[in-house]
Structure 1
């Protein structure tokens, strides 16, 4: 009786152990099946590398200058009697801008003109007398010298009077005046700045290696911080015939129109020289490039052939490339990628070599500028 009970208990325990082992085995089998099952494809965006003409450009920074611009000064000292312009207005060529007190000079000029009249009368009288040999030739020479001296004195005072009246040397926009009526001005005092804003120069420097590529008349495109969404175009007008010893750069000057007067002298300009050559380059969206310390790379999408019951799939391979110039969201690939190959443009952080992918949107084709 006791033996039968023990056998029954052993049988029950054995059945429980077998049930637990079967359950555990089934669980392990399911986990193995789950890990061995193919991973779902990773969703990415993609675009094809395309060949297109890519205009070569030389970047530089420069400073805008007026085609004509001066700080107006006085050449002789004196007191301001009359201001003949308003700050910021447009002035024309030879327009009077400032009149200084000239009473003393006017009085001196009157005296000099009276002496000139007397010297002229005496000279004419002496000419008639010398012809009749009534006076000596030396006396006539003295009268001629006196006439010349009187003429010079009048011309000198007239020139001094002209310097008391400041005229615009060219047409343009005059700045804020720095003096007022009644101020005493010494020689060299600045009264205002005058700038011709119809055209502007932009001076910039390029490395000496760029000299063979530069040609007079090449287009230049620039932008300024005041108008970040606008670009302005000009043309190269001069190339300095000397390379700077300290920097090994050559100075270049371009000219551009400024019909609306938006650009002002002294503005800082970011510019690009648009070279004539337009070689065909392989171009991809800039978002396709992964930048690292070890080099730049892209994920190239390749089609994996079907195997047995497994359908054809897309997988990626990481490939290091040599990049060139970047412009407006596009980047030139100099080495490592062929036109027509498809690259991942979004979702690279989820990828590794051999990962299966699915393209979720239409390819983003690079747009030519």
Structure 2
């Protein structure tokens, strides 16, 4: 009995819910019918007056400063470190000796190479004289010539190792890190020092496709940093990527001279402020005004008798949510910005002014 009562209650509840939904739908349909009746059967759309608007190409991009050069110096020789001549934080010049490796074994290798070369030179002269008198064959003479050349190469290598015993800085910069101590034994490839060149910094930022087309190498850029809010630094665009990254933005590098009294450091945040000459006002319409997308180049224009007419236009730059119109539309005309999906050429419409599109007076390419 209890189960029957529960079933009846559930059925009544479902019927009540169905009745409420049908009633609600009826009210909505009546409301839509009333709107159509009020407009005389015209299709309700949104529209905006076409006018010329100024374009601002200026934009800003945030990034991180990187050192002009960041080098990890590696050992090229084997041996024990006998002296270290610089400390962390020291400023060094290219060619300056930073550390010295025990040269004794290297010098012995050089002496052995010199002795071997001298012996082969003597042997070569002896073989050459014998060859002229027929005492040795041409093959024997060629063999001794090959040994002589190999000995000369080994001596050059020994001389280079002796020179490399004095570990020198390959660049101008600052010792950012030291990885060795006196007495440490080095092998080829051992990390010795990290040297950074901060005389110039590179600010790495990115720009979207609308922004990057306005940039070229050598452009001057004003740089600001949050740690020096009252200072402005001068930068120059030194790199523009030819291919977008995974976010569809183009990496850009800006070289900044760092020889002022205020020293920027690698790893700090910076803002690049790209500034361009003022652009002439141009006709702009919302992206949503295009039928099927901007590539269709087709829009609806409102005639004086409230009739929608299709119009072919030539689109230019896409500036955010606005599109530049190069040809096909005149200032003062009215373009339909919403509701085109319900339109055909010649359809009667009831236009509501799109205040958002009409009130926009300036367009920027910034994100």
Q: Secondary structure at the match of 2:198?
A: strand
Aligned residues: 236
Structure 1 residue 237: Cα displacement: 1.5
> In the TM superposition, what whole-angstrom CA distance separates every residue of 1:146-184 from its partner, at most 9, and x where no partner exists?
211211222232333344332111222222433221123
Contact 1:99 1:165 in 2 (8 A): yes
Q: Which residue of 1 is the match for residue 83 of structure 2?
A: 82
Mapped partners of 1:269, 1:112: distance in 2: 55
Mapped partners of 1:134, 1:187: distance in 2: 46
Q: Which residue of 1 is the match for residue 235 of structure 2?
A: 234
Mapped partners of 1:236, 1:200: distance in 2: 12
| TM-score for both structures, normalised by structure 2 | 0.58
Higher Cα Rg: structure 1 or 2? 1
Contact 1:97 1:165 in 2 (8 A): yes
> In the TM superposition, what whole-angstrom CA distance separates every residue of 1:73-98 from its partner, at most 9, and x where no partner exists?
22344321111223322222211111
Q: Which residue of 1 is the match for residue 361 of structure 2?
A: 335
> In the TM superposition, what whole-angstrom CA distance separates every residue of 1:319-349 from its partner, at most 9, and x where no partner exists?
x9979xxxxxxxxx9439xxxxxxxxxxxxx
Question: Mind listing any 5+ residue stretches in structure 2 that lack a counterpart?
Answer: 1-53, 283-353, 363-367
Mean Cα deviation higher: 264-273 or 122-131 = 122-131
Mapped partners of 1:54, 1:227: distance in 2: 31
Question: Mind listing any 5+ residue stretches in structure 1 that lack a counterpart?
Answer: 1-52, 282-319, 324-332, 337-369
Is residue 111 of structure 1 aligned with residue 112 of structure 2?
yes
1:124-139 residue pairs with structure 2 within 5 A? 124-139=125-140
1:343-354 residue pairs with structure 2 within 5 A? none
Q: Which residue of 2 is the match for residue 221 of structure 1?
A: 222
Q: Which residue of 1 is the match for residue 205 of structure 2?
A: 204
Q: Secondary structure at the match of 2:181?
A: coil
Q: Which residue of 2 is the match for residue 269 of structure 1?
A: 270
Mapped partners of 1:170, 1:279: distance in 2: 48
Contact 1:218 1:276 in 2 (8 A): no
Mapped partners of 1:225, 1:189: distance in 2: 38
Structure 1 residue 55: Cα displacement: 6.4
Q: Secondary structure at the match of 1:108?
A: helix
Mapped partners of 2:157, 2:242: distance in 1: 42
Contact 2:61 2:205 in 1 (8 A): yes
Structure 1 residue 61: Cα displacement: 1.1
Q: Which residue of 2 is the match for residue 258 of structure 1?
A: 258
Contact 1:219 1:275 in 2 (8 A): no
1:140-159 residue pairs with structure 2 within 5 A? 140-159=141-160
